[in-house]
Homo-oligomer: A and B are copies of this chain.
Amino acid sequence: MKKAREIFIELLRKDGLRLTRQREALLNAVFSTHRHFSAEELYRDLEKDGHGVSIATIYRSLTLLVEGGLIQGLDVGNGRVLYEHTLGHQHHDHMVCMDCGKITEFVSPEIEELQDEAARAHKFKVTAHSLKLFGYCSNCSKKHPDARATPAPQTRSGS
């Protein structure tokens, strides 16, 4: 992902910001994985690699990347936010396994179109949307034969 680095530097430059050791290490870590990661996980990974970056800086940089459109946050409920790159990835939605936490991506142009239609009908100007299916992935659903349909988990202890 050479491009991400260039875009990031460009982004920094444009605002008179600097390319520091920390921002560089973080960028590398973020774009070397294809997983969905939390701020905390990223913090630990960088720690392990010897590229220590404080948790405060993790958050500040993540914000920078989100604003720059390089990555995106995905709120999986319970106040947990996972990040994923956006760069070069087409828009997609997510299925969140409430047992193992597995994230499955899927795309549906038809759904997108219907969303836009609904927005239009309400004269609502959409700038972002978020569609998440909560439940059990193919593996875990074996363990939950009788899962009843419940509202999406919103409390900390839930799920």
Contact = CB atoms under 8 A, between A and B. Distances in A.
Interface of A: 63, 66, 69, 72-75, 77, 79, 81, 86, 93, 95, 97-98, 104, 106, 108, 110-111, 114-115, 118-119, 121-138, 141, 144, 147-155
A150 B111 contact: no
B98 A108 contact: no
- The binding surface of chain A is classed by DSSP as mixed
Number of copies of this protein chain within its complex: 2
A132 B129 contact: yes
A122 to B, nearest CB: 6
A44 to B, nearest CB: 20
A130 B77 CA distance: 10
Given A73-B154, A151-B73, A154-B66, A136 B131 contact: no
B134 A152 contact: no
A151 B137 CA distance: 25
Given A73-B152, A150-B69, A118 B128 contact: no
